[in-house]
Amino acid sequence: MALNFDLTEEQNLTRQAVRDFAEKEIAPLAQELDEKETFSVELTQKMGQLGLLGCFVSEKYGGSNMGYISYAIAVEELARVDGSQAATIAAGNSLGIGPIYYFGNEEQKRFWLPKLCSGENLAAFGLTEPEAGSDAASSRTRAELRGNTWVISGSKIFITNSANPLTGCVLVQAITGIREGGKKELSCIIVPQGAPGFSAKEMKGKMMWRASNTGELFFDECRVPMENLLGARGDGFHQMLATLDGGRLSIAAMGVGGAQGAFEMALQYANRRIQFGRPISSFQVNAFKLADMALEIELARNLLYKACWLRENERPFSKEAAMAKLYCSEVMGRVVDQAVQLHGGYGLMKDYQIERFYRDQKLLEIGEGTSEIQRIVIARSIGVAGRAI
Ligand SMILES: Cc1cc2nc3c(=O)[nH]c(=O)nc-3n(C[C@H](O)[C@H](O)[C@H](O)COP(=O)(O)OP(=O)(O)OC[C@H]3O[C@@H](n4cnc5c(N)ncnc54)[C@H](O)[C@@H]3O)c2cc1C
């Protein structure tokens, strides 16, 4: 049988377990954590104990090795209830654990992965800088090898999971030299918490994902041992692109899950709310809105699972990851917009959780490559002439 849309028993069990956890443990806290803009150490550790960190890491290093489709399902189920907790897990896996698992040497993996997979620690991926966002290659942070020590100078901004009590290390992309022809040599270096010259400051005042942790990082002649280089010197740009491809799957999963949660709220509200003597869902214009939401979520989920299937089967998946990230995040945008509309004035009030979903969605079109950048990636991969940039 070549084409089969059935999920495996394990994938269904993952969905049920994460849904139960999200509804029992996260849902009662989500509004308050958002309101107070508080990262929860306790919830993060519980998610680690549930095996939600290290989703694609082999058991040998303490991972749960559930595969990419199950990973997407897990993120989807968290996002159905709370975008912030989903963000902690998505970034923890794809941006923190992923680069160490795929590019680290045996010693680095043995040292970091068990504690990252259990939730004892989180790792963060420091790519974005104040002057280098979409144009990630224009980073200015530098690392110079002096004797057996990397000396790092520069800063990073908007780094998820980088400034909380669980942060164990940050992976920093830095210029480590200039190649023949003048091109920058970029490498990734593991900077552990407490390294001399390294400091992190929590960024407050976010519109969305308010219970996730975002940090600004400062490297002032920060010193780490030579052995902290991740993979080969000069591989940093390639590592960053590969990491973002994987990360895009998890952002797409947040889009599907967030859209699903918003849709369920809208459906329930529209079936209950009576105006003109009948449920508002019975007006055709609203019934069609709900039908369109269900249709788009179905399409988004199919695209996401296909991209994850390609990743799981070690096929090329960059184009599909960009398509899924772009489509799923924009579908969630349309769904939350209509879901708030169906709630009328109540949809604008904090007491109604749909307002939080409306805010949380926006990051999905910006983080890990904006929607414009995804369209550039797709345009290039379908043979558009020139660089399309
Ligand atoms: C909450 C949060 C968490 C984040 N987590 C991380 C993290 O863990 N690690 C990390 O490294 N980064 C992280 N980021 C950073 C995020 O990836 C960047 O914000 C994003 O890549 C965009 O960069 P920028 O904000 O500098 O915007 P810019 O690159 O300045 O873009 C501004 C606008 O210009 C458009 N634009 C730019 N270039 C082009 C072009 N060539 N063609 C057309 N349009 C273009 C963009 O699409 C956008 O609309 C996070 C950001 C946030 C807000």
368 an active-site residue? yes
Q: Is the CB of 247 under 6 A from ligand 1?
A: no
Query: For residue 283, how far is the Cα from the chain centroid?
Result: 37
Q: Quote the pLDDT of residue 217.
A: 98
pLDDT band at 342 (very low <50, low <70, confident <90, very high): very high
Provide DSSP, 319-356: HHHHHHHHHHHHHHHHHHHHHHHHHGGGGGSTTSTHHH
What does the pLDDT look like over 27-47, one tens digit per residue?
999 999 999 999 999 999 999
Q: Is the CB of 125 under 6 A from ligand 1?
A: yes
Contact 104, 44 (CB under 8 A): no
Segment 56-79 shows an average pLDDT of 97
Q: Quote the pLDDT of residue 72.
A: 98
Ligand 1 atom index nearest CA of 161:
8
Q: Quote the pLDDT of residue 101.
A: 98
Q: Quote the pLDDT of residue 386.
A: 73
Q: Is the CB of 38 under 6 A from ligand 1?
A: no
Distance from C-alpha of 33 to C-alpha of 385, rounded to nearest angstrom: 47
Q: How far is the CA of 276 from the centre of ligand 1 (A)?
A: 46
Q: Quote the pLDDT of residue 387.
A: 66
Judge whether residue 1 has pLDDT over 80.
Answer: no
Closest CA to 301 of 98, 9, 80: 80
What does the pLDDT look like over 313-325, one tens digit per residue?
999 999 999 999 9
Judge whether residue 61 has pLDDT over 70.
Answer: yes
pLDDT band at 385 (very low <50, low <70, confident <90, very high): confident
Contact 375, 248 (CB under 8 A): no
What does the pLDDT look like over 186-217, one tens digit per residue?
999 999 999 999 999 999 999 999 999 999 99
What does the pLDDT look like over 217-256, one tens digit per residue?
999 999 999 999 999 999 999 999 999 999 999 999 999 9
Considering the candidates 131, 314, 368, 372, report the single residue annotated as catalytic: 368
Q: Quote the pLDDT of residue 237.
A: 93
Q: Quote the pLDDT of residue 389.
A: 62
Closest CA to 68 of 32, 25, 22, 101: 101
Q: How far is the CA of 133 from the centre of ligand 1 (A)?
A: 5
Distance from C-alpha of 379 to C-alpha of 389, rounded to nearest angstrom: 10
Among 206, 212, 359, 370, which is best to mutate for testing ligand 1, by the most ligand atoms less than 8 A from CB?
370
Among 94, 127, 128, 169, which is best to mutate for testing ligand 1, by the most ligand atoms less than 8 A from CB?
128
Give strand pairing partners of 190: 171
Q: What is the DSSP letter of 50?
A: T
Q: Residue 110, Cβ neighbours under 10 Å: how many?
A: 13
Structure tokens at 12: 């269904």
Q: How far is the CA of 289 from the centre of ligand 1 (A)?
A: 31
Helices of type H across the chain: 9-21, 27-36, 41-49, 68-79, 83-90, 98-103, 106-118, 236-272, 284-312, 318-343, 354-364, 371-381
Q: How far is the CA of 266 from the centre of ligand 1 (A)?
A: 30
State in Å, rounded, how far the first CA of the chain is from the last one: 41
Q: How far is the CA of 187 from the centre of ligand 1 (A)?
A: 20
Q: Quote the pLDDT of residue 2.
A: 82
Among 134, 155, 374, 375, which is best to mutate for testing ligand 1, by the most ligand atoms less than 8 A from CB?
134
Q: Is the CB of 372 under 6 A from ligand 1?
A: yes
What does the pLDDT look like over 110-167, one tens digit per residue?
999 999 999 999 999 999 999 999 999 899 999 999 999 999 999 999 999 999 999 9
Q: Is the CB of 209 under 6 A from ligand 1?
A: yes
Q: Is the CB of 367 under 6 A from ligand 1?
A: yes
Ligand 1 atom index nearest CA of 209:
1
Contact 297, 65 (CB under 8 A): no
Structure tokens at 295: 């249709």
Radius of gyration of the chain (CA): 21
Q: How far is the CA of 46 from the centre of ligand 1 (A)?
A: 30
Distance from C-alpha of 89 to C-alpha of 96, rounded to nearest angstrom: 10
Judge whether residue 388 has pLDDT over 90.
Answer: no
Q: Is the CB of 216 under 6 A from ligand 1?
A: no
